[in-house]
Amino acid sequence: MTKNLLIVESPAKAKTIEKILGKDFTVKSCFGHIRDLAKKDMGIDIANNFQPHYVISEDKEKVVKELQKLAKGSEVWLATDEDREGEAISWHLCEVLNLDKDTTKRIVFNEITAPAIKKAVENPRTLDTNLFYAQQARRVLDRVVGFELSPVLWKKLGRRTLSAGRVQSVAVRLVVEREREINKFETESFYKVVAYFISDKKVFKAELSEKYSKIKSAEQFLEDCKQAIFTVKDIQTKPTQKGPAAPFTTSTLQQEASRKLGFSVSRTMQVAQKLYEAGKITYMRTDSPSLSDLALNSIQVYINKEFGKDYSNRKQYATKNASAQEAHEAIRPTYIENTSEGSNRDEEKLYQLIWKRTIASQMSNARLEKTIAKIDISNRKELFVAEGEVLKFEGFLKVYIESTDDEEEDEAGMLPALNVNQILDYTKIEARERFSQAPARFTEASLIKKLEELGIGRPSTYAPTISTIQNREYVIRGEQEGQPRAYQKLELSKGNIIKETLSENVGAQKGKLIPTDIGILVTDYLLENFPKIMDYSFTADMEKDFDLIAEGNKEWSKIIQQFYKPFHNDIEASAESTTFVTGERELGVEPESNKLITARLGRFGPMVQIGSADDEEKPRYAKLKPGQSIETISLDEALDLFKLPLTLGIYEEQEISVNNGRFGPYVKFGEQFVSLPKGEDPINVSLERAIEIIKNKQVEDAPIAYYDNKPITKGKGRFGPFIKWNDMYINIPRAYNFDSINEKECEELILKKIDKEANRYILEFPEEKITVENGRWGPFLRFNKKMLKLTGKKYTSEEAANLSLEELKKMIEAQVPGAFDKKPKKAPAKKAATKKK
């Protein structure tokens, strides 16, 4: 009897499917892509119609050998994902396993459940070469752009870590242009007036129909209100409805998980992948919001049973994206009756989000009654307007409310019973100074939404794009907590007007995407020299071309050919220019020396410079602080940078100074370095404040207990609260109270840590700086303090202990090319001759 070998991408997926298919099938994982374009000569024969040259990835050689061995005498079934990447993996498996592409059974499914898998096995198809060609076109195009354009950036900006790509460069452009919009925006203040009226012993709020640009106008209005009579002029009541959002696509899941759960895009996709592979949700890379008839039926049955027929409203959603690819469903639970799933908290939270959104999408609209009351002011032409809402029928709101990226606004509450011509009394009338708002910075989620609106990228590319632009440090996630801003408030109460100056926190950038100086310079250079690559329409049109290839309506090599010739001409033209890109900007003149101060990109990052290389005296340099930019730094801010290090005075016979360091601003006390609290500027730190910070640190560092006659101290660091003992840092779990942790609890944590450390190392090769260690997710490889994967398969601790040094070196080489290349020793530099004084 012929054996059946079914191949999928991941071990978790293989495990779930093997349980379903039983002993008739051996299910194995190929661990994702097994081949890629060769690194030598771009891996593409441009002269031969862009023929790609594929090689087996070094870390997949062992996997391929195992699959080749199992394939002999077996009928092979290819069950990789049903998108272009999945089709490409199957195509490469056919190549390396010598399978006939016209007869090899290819099965696809949208969920890993027994009915779906069995149905797929009963209805196999053959390889879809058009889908593969669409993936190949994208891969070849991205390799051509990266291979030819990245060296240009290395040369122009002097950094070999830089890269360019069709989608990533356009994504950075969006962030840069938004930042410039914000920098150009001029905030204007105005006064918003709100009255608090009473009717039937209930207080309700009404907003004035006009806003005032000057405080005098607002004050005059309040003066007039002292003598005014307030009368209900008009009441309008009308029914409204609110409909549910469509089930999740990849993009909308990433956006909502960011807003509701605080997940990054990559975290969302990792968690969703695990849920899919465990058979809990449908495939998580999709741009279709539609649901299958089977799913719609089961959801309808559930809603009728749990909420009643009035809450059920079966509907199918059409995609807003005209270029949605592949016939996937929306992301939904595989079994709607399972209200909770997941093996950890992240999985449980994301599953709950998907479950609620799916259920809500098939529920009735919420029905509301909206009331608008207009209130006349006897001695003024303006009107107060009060709005209220009454929820008449919950509908889908019983289960789910969609979030938005907009700043939260006050929800309309209920209004008390009002009558036309009714005279109203007020408790107070406020005029608060408000400010016009600059466009909001992108979050990961809102950037994906924008890319999707422009037709740039696909479900499979969103998360890698967001990760790449941050890994390349073109864009960073903001950490700024916000700054206090003063505003004026006028209040009319009991016939008196009270003036107050209050403060609010504004400008918090936590989690927002901010372009770095290098990201801005790369964007400007590419826009000037390679405008087509940076064009939003061109990038979106390329996506449409890939769709046409997938449908069999275009030849992939012709599309690459049309792009390559003009692109390569631009590359050759750029090589003729020898100028470096530094973004140099003149800020002004230093008062003391009368020398020019400039801001520019230097070898070690953005900096300011006093003087030039042509001066007799050597120029002075200072690094920009986090949050400062070459584009926006002022002359005064630049001069402040040269004040550091700044000596503040003497305390306990030791000098105290402040400075900026590698890990942020700090106070130096003798030989001790103490970090400044977050948000404090070293320039503004007084001697008294520095002494206070030092004393606080001394209290923190004082022993709280002893173990084995060695002191135990506690503190709060980058990863949360910890205790320190014998140069060992031990995180304090949430189960322990940081403020009141005692000696016995410290001893427990120390013994656990010692035990863990004893079982940590599986293999050690000290001379090669290689270790294999037990980690949270299983064994991993550490080389030269760098954490790397054990590639080829998922290893148990016992299997990892049997790996040879040669095998480990191969894994390291695959992830760190040239890791073991012998570097020639540099000849000692000759000492420069010095003049005797």
Three-state secondary structure along 490-550?
A: EEEECCEEEEEEEEEEECCCCCCEEECHHHHHHHHHHHHHCCCCCCHHHHHHHHHHHHHHH
Whether the CB-CB separation of 413 and 266 falls below 8 Å is answered with no
The catalytic position among 133, 276, 283, 426 is 283
Side-chain half-sphere CA neighbours of 775 within 13 A:
16
Q: What are the two backbone dihedrals, phi and then psi, of residue 237, each rounded to the nearest 5 degrees?
A: -125, 125
Residue 335 catalytic? no
- Token pair 């049955």 is found at 301
Question: String of b and e for 573-604 (b: at least 16 CB within 10 Å)?
Answer: ebeeeeeebbbeeebeebeeeebbbbbbbeee
- Token pair 């408000």 is found at 434
- Spell out the alpha helix ranges (H) of 702-780: 743-758
Give Cα separations from 529 to 297, 517, 586 (angstroms).
Answer: 55, 18, 24
The dihedral sign for the CA sequence 412, 417, 421, 423: negative
Rg (CA), the chain: 32
- Token pair 């700086």 is found at 769
Quick one: DSSP state of residue 784? T
Angle at 149 between CA 285 and CA 628, to 5 degrees: 80
Whether the CB-CB separation of 249 and 358 falls below 8 Å is answered with no
Between CA 401 and CA 259 the distance in angstroms is 12
Quick one: DSSP state of residue 158? S
Which residues share a beta bridge with 660? 665
644 residue type, one letter:
L
Angle at 377 between CA 371 and CA 379, to 5 degrees: 165
Three-state secondary structure along 353-412?
A: HHHHHHHHHCECCEEEEEEEEEEEECCCCCEEEEEEEEEEECHHHHCCCCCCCCCCCCCC
Q: Of 685, 655, 660, 657, give the one whose Cα is nearest residue 670.
A: 655
Whether the CB-CB separation of 61 and 3 falls below 8 Å is answered with no
β-strand 710-717 against 74-78: which pairing, if any?
unpaired
Between CA 318 and CA 314 the distance in angstroms is 14
Q: Catalytic residues, which ones?
A: 283
